[in-house]
């Protein structure tokens, strides 16, 4: 099973809302990632978790708050987003944070109004 | 900082044509290279990877890539494309726990 699942598939939120994106994998992977992908652009790394600890934050604004409750779950809490934050948010996992292949979920398409 | 270049932004081919998509990376040391594909409306999928050993690597769906260290290149090839290969293709290099993607190549295959 090489599946990474993400919920919700679509999300529309206002600039004052608080929402959360969820990601789950059951491959026993110990590294998990959040990426942001704008239309016709490559994914941009946001956060890396390794063994449930945040290891990389790519200078992401604090209105994005990641959380890793356990080794299978990864959340991204959203608060006071801007319209320019509208994008496809991808979750990925890999065996560890080394050069192992990353497996991507289908993403959450976020629209901020 | 390490970077990845994909010079072909948009490629249009007829079915059965041969495909080669260019990828160049900037780092001169040990590299771990990947090709990912994103079919319309689907998630990113790993096509193939190179870590070490035989520089010609074979992936899924008939794709292969050749690592040429002297040219800092990792080009993707397929001898005969199908309409179902229409997708966005991303080359990526792994560096210090990060996967760095190229800008992508949009491939359109017409029947």
Cβ of A50 and B97 within 8 Å?
yes
* Chain segment B81-102, per-residue pLDDT in tens: 999 999 999 999 998 888 999 9
**Block residue for tokens 């293709």:** B89
Does B99 contact A90 at a Cβ distance shorter than 8 Å? no
Rg of chain B over Cα atoms, rounded to whole angstroms, equals 13
Interface test with B, best of A4, A42, A45, A91 (most B CBs within 10 A): A42
Average pLDDT, chain B: 93
Nearest CA in chain A to B90: A42
pLDDT at site A2 = 64
Which of B43, B94, B102 would you mutate first to test chain A, the one with the most A CBs within 10 A? B43
Determine the Cα–Cα distance for residues A101 and A32; give it in Å rounded to an integer.
12
**Cα(B61)–Cα(B96) distance, integer angstroms:** 30
pLDDT at position A1 over 80: no
pLDDT for A47-89, tens place per residue? 999 999 999 999 999 999 999 999 999 999 999 999 999 999 9
Label residue B86 exposed, middle or buried (CB < 10 Å: 0-12, 13-18, 19+). middle
State whether A43 and B51 contact (CB < 8 Å). Answer: no
Task: Report CA torsion sign: B11, A89, A105, A28.
Answer: positive
A15-39 residue pLDDT tens: 989 999 999 999 999 999 999 999 9
- A92 pLDDT above the threshold of 60: yes
């Amino acid at each position: 099973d090489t599946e990474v699942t993400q919920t919700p598939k679509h999300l529309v939120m206002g600039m004052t809302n608080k929402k959360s994106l969820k990601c789950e994998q059951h491959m026993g992977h110990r590294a998990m990632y959040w990426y942001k992908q704008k239309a016709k652009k490559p994914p941009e790394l946001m956060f890396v978790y390794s063994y449930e600890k945040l290891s990389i934050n790519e200078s992401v604004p604090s209105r994005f708050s990641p959380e890793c409750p356990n080794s299978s779950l990864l959340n991204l809490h959203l608060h006071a987003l801007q319209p320019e934050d509208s994008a496809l948010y991808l979750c990925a996992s890999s065996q560890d944070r080394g050069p192992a292949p990353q497996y991507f979920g289908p993403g959450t398409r976020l629209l901020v109004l | 900082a390490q970077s990845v270049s994909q010079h072909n932004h948009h490629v249009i081919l007829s079915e059965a044509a041969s495909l080669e998509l260019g990828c160049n990376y900037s780092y001169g040391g040990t590299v771990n290279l990947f090709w990912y594909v994103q079919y319309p409306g689907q998630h990113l999928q790993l096509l193939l990877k190179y870590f070490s050993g035989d520089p010609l690597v074979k992936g899924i769906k008939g794709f292969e890539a050749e690592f040429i260290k002297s040219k800092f290149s990792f080009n993707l090839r397929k001898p005969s494309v199908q309409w179902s290969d229409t997708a966005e293709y991303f080359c990526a290099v792994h560096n210090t726990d990060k996967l760095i993607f190229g800008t992508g190549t949009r491939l359109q295959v017409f029947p």
